[in-house]
Chain A
Amino acid sequence: MNRNQLFSLAESWFASQNWTPFPFQKDTWTAFLQGRNGLLNAPTGSGKTYALWVPIILDYLKKAEGKKHKSGLKAIWITPLRALSVEIKQAAERLIEGLEVPFEVAIRSGDTSVSERAKQLKKMPDLLITTPESLQLLLATKGYENILKDCSAIVVDEWHELLGTKRGVQMELALSRMKTVCKNLRIWGISATIGNLEQARQVLLGPDSEAYHNSVLVKAVLHKKINVQSIIPEKMESYPWRGHMGFHLIGEVAKIIKESRTTLIFTNVRSACELWYQRLLDYEPDFAGEIAMHHGSIDRDVRIWVENAIRDEKLKAVVCTSSLDLGVDFAPVETIIQIGGPKGVARFMQRAGRSNHKPGKESLIYFLATHAIELVEASALKKAVEKSVVEDRIPYLNSWDVLVQYCNTLAVSDGFFPDDIFNEVKTTFCYQAMDRDHWQWILNFITKGSQSLQAYDEYKKVEIEADGRYKINKKSIATHHRMQIGTIVGDAVMQVKFMSGGFIGSIEEWFISKLKPGDVFQFAGKQLELYRVKNMQVLVKKASRKPTRFASWMGGRLALSAQMSELLRQELYGANHGKKSPELAAMEPIFKRQRKESIVPESTEFLIETFKTREGYHAIFYPFEGRFVHEALASLLAYRISLLEPITFSLAYNDYGFELLSDKEIDMQSVIDNDLFSTSYVHHDLQKSLNATEMARRKFRDIAVIAGLVFTGYPGKIVKAKHLQSSSQLLFEVFRDYEPDNLLLQQAYRETFEHQLEEGRLIQALERIQSQAIVWKACEKPTPFSFPIITDRLREKLSSESLAERIAKMTASYMKGI
Chain B
Amino acid sequence: MLLISDVHLGKVSHFRKHGIAVPENAFLANFRRLTEVADYFGAELICFLGDLFHSKKNKEWDIFCHWTQSRPEKILLVTGNHDILKPEAYAQARIIVTSEFVTDAFLFTHEPEIRENHFTFCGHIHPGVTLRGVGRQFMSLSCFYLEKQQLILPAFGEFTGKWIVEPQQHARIFALTPRNVVEITLLERNGR
Interface residues of A (CB under 8 A from B): 445, 449-450, 452, 456-461, 474, 476-477, 480, 615-617, 648-650, 661-663, 708-709, 711, 723-724, 726-727, 729-731, 733-735, 737-739, 742, 795, 797, 803-804, 806-807, 809-818
Contacts and interface: CB of A to CB of B under 8 A. Distances in A.
Contacts of A460: 16-19
Interface stretch (B36-44, B69-77, B105-113, B165-173): B165-173
Nearest to A616: B135
B185 interface: yes
Nearest to A745: B23
A726 B161 contact: yes
A813 B182 contact: no
B86 interface: no
A698 to B, nearest CB: 15
A450 B169 contact: no
B88 interface: no
A434 to B, nearest CB: 20
A220 B169 CA distance: 70
Nearest to B183: A807
A807 B26 contact: no
Given A723-B55, A815-B167, A461 B19 contact: yes
Contact of A814 (B17, B58, B187): B187
A813 B187 contact: yes
Contact of A804 (B22, B58, B138, B182): B182
28 contacts: A452-B24, A458-B17, A458-B58, A459-B19, A460-B19, A648-B133, A661-B135, A662-B135, A663-B135, A711-B18, A734-B12, A735-B23, A737-B26, A742-B23, A803-B178, A804-B182, A807-B131, A807-B177, A810-B185, A812-B131, A812-B132, A812-B167, A812-B184, A813-B167, A814-B169, A814-B171, A814-B189, A817-B169
B137 A648 contact: yes
B133 to A, nearest CB: 4
B131 A450 contact: no
B14 A818 contact: no
A667 to B, nearest CB: 16
B182 A458 contact: no
B168 A815 contact: yes
A733 B169 CA distance: 32
B169 A459 contact: no
Contact of A811 (B55, B159, B171, B185): B185
Contacts of B168: 814-815, 818
Contact of B188 (A617, A663, A729, A816): A816
Contacts of A445: 21
B103 interface: no
B16 A458 contact: yes
Contacts of A459: 16-17, 19, 21
The residue in B29, B132, B136 that gathers the most chain A C-beta atoms within 10 A of its C-beta is: B136
B26 A811 contact: no
B189 A811 contact: no
Contacts of B58: 458
A474 to B, nearest CB: 8
Interface in B144-172: 158-161, 166-169, 171
B129 interface: yes
A709 B21 contact: yes
A545 B175 CA distance: 42
Contact of B26 (A480, A650, A709, A734): A734
Contacts of A723: 14, 54-55
A615 B189 CA distance: 16
Contact of B15 (A452, A477, A726, A817): A726
Nearest to B55: A723
A817 B188 CA distance: 10
Contacts of B161: 726-727, 729-730
A734 B178 CA distance: 15
A811 B137 contact: no
5 A-B pairs with the lowest CB-CB distances in the bound complex, closest first:
A616-B135, A449-B21, A461-B19, A810-B133, A739-B23
Contacts of B134: 615-616, 663, 809
B117 interface: no
Contact of A457 (B13, B178, B184): B13
B61 to A, nearest CB: 12
Given A806-B137, A810-B185, A814-B167, 17 more contacts: A449-B24, A458-B13, A477-B18, A477-B19, A616-B135, A648-B133, A726-B161, A733-B159, A734-B26, A738-B29, A807-B131, A810-B131, A810-B184, A812-B131, A812-B167, A814-B168, A818-B169
Interface of B: 12-26, 29, 54-55, 58-59, 129-139, 141, 158-161, 166-169, 171, 173, 175, 177-179, 182, 184-189
Contacts of B17: 458-460
A456 B13 CA distance: 11
A405 to B, nearest CB: 13
B16 A813 contact: no
B132 A731 contact: no
Contact of B159 (A480, A663, A734, A815): A734
A809 B160 CA distance: 27
Nearest to A614: B134
Nearest to B171: A814
Given A804-B182, A807-B182, A812-B132, A738 B189 contact: no
A739 B167 contact: no
Given A459-B21, A813-B132, A807 B184 contact: yes
B177 A650 contact: no
A482 to B, nearest CB: 13
B135 A649 contact: yes
Contacts of A742: 23
Contact of B132 (A649, A708, A729, A811): A811
Nearest to A404: B21
A812 B171 CA distance: 11
A739 B21 CA distance: 11
A480 B169 CA distance: 46
- Most chain B CB within 10 A, of A476, A650, A813, is at A813
B53 to A, nearest CB: 12
Given A723-B54, A726-B15, A727-B161, A810 B137 contact: yes
Contacts of A458: 13, 16-17, 58-59
Nearest to A480: B19
A650 B137 contact: yes
A792 to B, nearest CB: 10
Contact of A815 (B19, B166, B177): B166
Contacts of B175: 807
Contacts of B188: 813-814, 816
B184 A816 contact: no
B69 to A, nearest CB: 19
Nearest to B18: A724
Nearest to A744: B21
B23 A812 contact: no
Nearest to A729: B161
B103 to A, nearest CB: 29
A324 B59 CA distance: 53
A734 B135 CA distance: 29
Given A811-B186, A812-B186, A731 B136 contact: no
Given A727-B161, A804-B179, A817-B169, A812 B129 contact: yes
Contacts of A708: 19-20
Contacts of A731: 22
A738 B21 CA distance: 12
Contacts of A648: 133, 135, 137
B136 A795 contact: yes
A460 B15 CA distance: 10
A639 B58 CA distance: 44
Residue among B23, B24, B139, B171 with most chain A CB within 10 A: B23
A98 B85 CA distance: 69
B177 A663 contact: no
A816 B21 CA distance: 44
Contact of A734 (B133, B158, B182, B189): B158
Of residues B24, B55, B130, which shows the largest number of chain A Cβ atoms within 10 Å of its Cβ?
Answer: B24
Contacts of A662: 135
